[in-house]
């Protein structure tokens, strides 16, 4: 049985997905069920997929510099759709000065380039521990 369901997504026009694929494979290899949306997804597509796939976490990967706008929109859409129990984490080339702002808006963790695999796995595990348990295969 998987440890949890996680959606990994690339919002916006950013076409570089090496980091997102790395995290998706890392999580999959650690026993999580991972859904990867591919590149150039809108916040609406991401939230719709997260709800349809019944995930517990959304991981957003961004290199374009639009993290403040796109992360805020994903969080707003989750709230509007009564799905704000789905936690959001992010990663990419996010300036350290923006991390506190992202966390204040509700992003639960931010991984920057060079974050260790162990740190990512430990953080995801911690986030899922805070989630109510769900039956993934009802």
**106-116: pLDDT as tens digits:** 999 999 999 99
Instruction: Say how far apart CA 80 and CA 138 lie, in whole Å.
Output: 25
Tens of pLDDT, residue by residue over 84-120, are 999 999 999 999 999 999 999 999 999 999 999 999 9
pTM above 0.85, yes or no: yes
Instruction: Say how far apart CA 135 and CA 16 lie, in whole Å.
Output: 34
In the chain, which ranges are continuous DSSP H helix? 18-29, 43-52, 67-80, 96-105, 117-129
Phi first, then psi, for residue 58 (nearest 5°) are -120, 130
CATH number of 5-129: 3.40.50.280
């Amino acid at each position: 049985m998987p440890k949890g369901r996680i959606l990994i997504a690339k919002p916006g026009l950013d076409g570089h997905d090496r980091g997102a694929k790395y995290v998706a494979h890392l999580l999959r290899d650690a026993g999580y069920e991972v859904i990867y949306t591919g590149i150039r997804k809108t916040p609406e597509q991401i939230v719709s997929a997260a709800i349809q796939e019944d995930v517990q976490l959304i991981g957003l990967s961004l290199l374009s510099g639009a993290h403040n706008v796109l992360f805020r929109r994903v969080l707003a859409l989750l709230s509007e759709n009564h799905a704000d129990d789905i936690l959001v984490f992010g990663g990419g080339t996010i300036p350290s000065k923006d991390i506190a702002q992202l966390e204040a808006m509700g992003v639960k963790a931010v991984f920057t380039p060079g974050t260790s695999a162990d740190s990512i796995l430990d953080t995801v595990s911690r986030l899922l521990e805070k989630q109510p348990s769900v039956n993934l295969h009802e």
